[in-house]
Structure 1
Amino acid sequence: MSTHTMNTGWLHGRFGTVVLWALLICTESAGQLFTKVAGNQLGQMDFNWQWLGEVARNPGILAAIACYIGAFFVWMLILRRSSLSLAFPLSSLVFVVVLLGSWLGLGEHISPLHWVGVVVIIGGIALLAEGEEN
């Protein structure tokens, strides 16, 4: 199989890029949310061997670790095709998804100022994306 043939699959096109970004945002956000839930489940414990054992056996922590490992490999694929100057700011969409997940999934209160922050993040990403096309 030639190099040209390998680079024409769906993963290398625009659709593949969108899929990779969705995977990155979902895995990183899920990792944050799993860590929060696991932290709540573990409660207040002293930092000792028993605590480390509880952390190592907690399903939420294990799920978070799996998410972060997956996100790392997806991030590497994204960086192969994108400039870091655009990719890194785009990764801030994770903040938006974590905020939405904590509001919808964990019932956390989100202040109006946080919602303004979401608008600013999305606006900043739109500006950066527009500048990248020119």
Structure 2
Amino acid sequence: MRKFYLIGFLFLLLFDTLGQCSFKLTAQHAEPLEMSFDWIIRVFTNPWVYTAVFGYIGAFFTWMLLLKKAPIGPAFAASHLEVVTVMLASYWIFNEQITLLRLLGAAFIIIGIVFLALAEHKLQPNPET
């Protein structure tokens, strides 16, 4: 079951990160932002917008599959790891800064997920007793 969770959450992070980064790439390629028909054409003729939609559809179905099996508390918290993966991908793809405050925030997210997972593990009945 742990392998299922690990693979499932890795796919969720992959799809979420793909969706977020693809939307940013779409926005960059559709500049300047203006409420016009030309801007709409620039958005919908950009392949990144379709990659973003694919990412969000993949994330939706992965999330629905995970929710059937995973405990909701840790699952919901782990789904927010996308904040960390998008930050890392943005550093690599967009040359965005990773500041000390962002690293601290990422650390708090990870620590919170670990604490929730440990608490959930302690609440589960022990089959050996």
- The TM-score with structure 1 as length reference comes to 0.86
Residue deviations 1:68-89, cap 9 Å, x none? 0011000000000012222111
Quote how far apart the aligned CAs of 1:38 are.
1.3
Taking the aligned partners of 1:14 and 1:89, their CA distance within structure 2 comes to 16
Percentage of matched positions with identical amino acids: 32
Q: Is the 8 A contact 2:5 2:70 kept in 1?
A: no
* 2:94 counterpart residue number: 106
1:125 aligns with 2:92: no
Alignment of 1:75-114 (within 5 A): 75-114=63-102
Alignment of 1:1-134 (within 5 A): 13-134=1-122
Uncovered stretches (5+) of structure 1, i.e. residues with no partner: 1-12
- The TM-score with structure 2 as length reference comes to 0.89
**Residue type at the aligned position of 1:23:** F
Quote how far apart the aligned CAs of 1:65 are.
0.4
Taking the aligned partners of 2:101 and 2:29, their CA distance within structure 1 comes to 29
Taking the aligned partners of 1:37 and 1:124, their CA distance within structure 2 comes to 30
3-state SS in 2 of match to 1:47 = coil
Deviating beyond 3 angstroms after TM superposition, the runs of 4 or more aligned structure 1 residues are none
Quote how far apart the aligned CAs of 1:120 are.
0.8
Uncovered stretches (5+) of structure 2, i.e. residues with no partner: 123-129
